Amino acid sequence: EESLNKLNPKNYKAPIIIISEIDNIAIAKQTIERGFQDFLIKKNITPPLLARSILYAINRKEFISQLEVNSSTQFTQLIESNADALIVVTTDKLVKLVNKSAEKMMNSPRDILVGMPFIFPLNDKKITGITIIHPDKTKIVGEMRTSRIQWEEKEAFLVSIRDVTQLKKHTP
């Protein structure tokens, strides 16, 4: 069990099947939940069982990989097509990710924005009014919301900024 804790199946492209001398259903269940493809008891292995386990493990690993790719693609499309500026900011206020709307609102490409300090306050779950002034003196009025999230296994903030410039111009 200690050896299993050191091994992370997500770090490997090939499927991993655990073969153990220990006949323990709890360990077998934990192994599968951690992402290993199968758990076989050494004394019960036959050539047909091993062949079937390998075949199923390869198929499951390919299926899971394809799901992850599709999920990642859909996530990217969702973020990029959002009309609001979406920005991931670390707890030390560094920008980690921006969408196209954020590039437009900030008047700067993502390769410049990512890694830059985020200058606005991060008030979790509160709406904050902000003004962004472009170099040509154009002003963008925004409503900013932040939520705490996990990003790359660390705490961070998801910042959403809605451009309300036109609404503010028409409000008496």
Q: In angstroms, what CA-CA distances link 42 with 3, 17, 24, 50, 62?
A: 16, 12, 12, 10, 25
Per-residue confidence (pLDDT) for residue 1, from 0 to 100: 57
Q: What is the pLDDT of residues 19-28, one digit of tens each?
A: 999 898 998 8
Distance separating alpha carbons of residues 18 and 167, to the nearest angstrom:
60
For residue 65, give the H/E element and its range: helix 47-81
Between 2-11, 29-38, 129-138, the lowest mean confidence (pLDDT) is in 2-11
Distance separating alpha carbons of residues 69 and 75, to the nearest angstrom:
10
Most confident by average pLDDT, 71-75, 90-94, 165-169 = 90-94
For residue 158, give the H/E element and its range: strand 154-163
- Residues recorded for the chain: 172
Q: What is the pLDDT of residues 109-147, one digit of tens each?
A: 999 999 999 999 998 778 899 999 999 999 999 999 999
Task: Work out the pLDDT band at 169, boundaries 50, 70, 90.
Answer: low
Distance separating alpha carbons of residues 117 and 143, to the nearest angstrom:
19
Residue 42 has pLDDT above 90, yes or no: yes
**pLDDT, average across residues 142-166:** 94
Distance separating alpha carbons of residues 151 and 98, to the nearest angstrom:
13
Measuring CA to CA, which residue among 144, 159, 165 is closest to residue 79?
Answer: 159
Average pLDDT, the chain: 89
> Is the pTM higher than 0.75?
no
The residue among 73 and 87 whose pLDDT is bigger is: 87
Per-residue confidence (pLDDT) for residue 78, from 0 to 100: 87
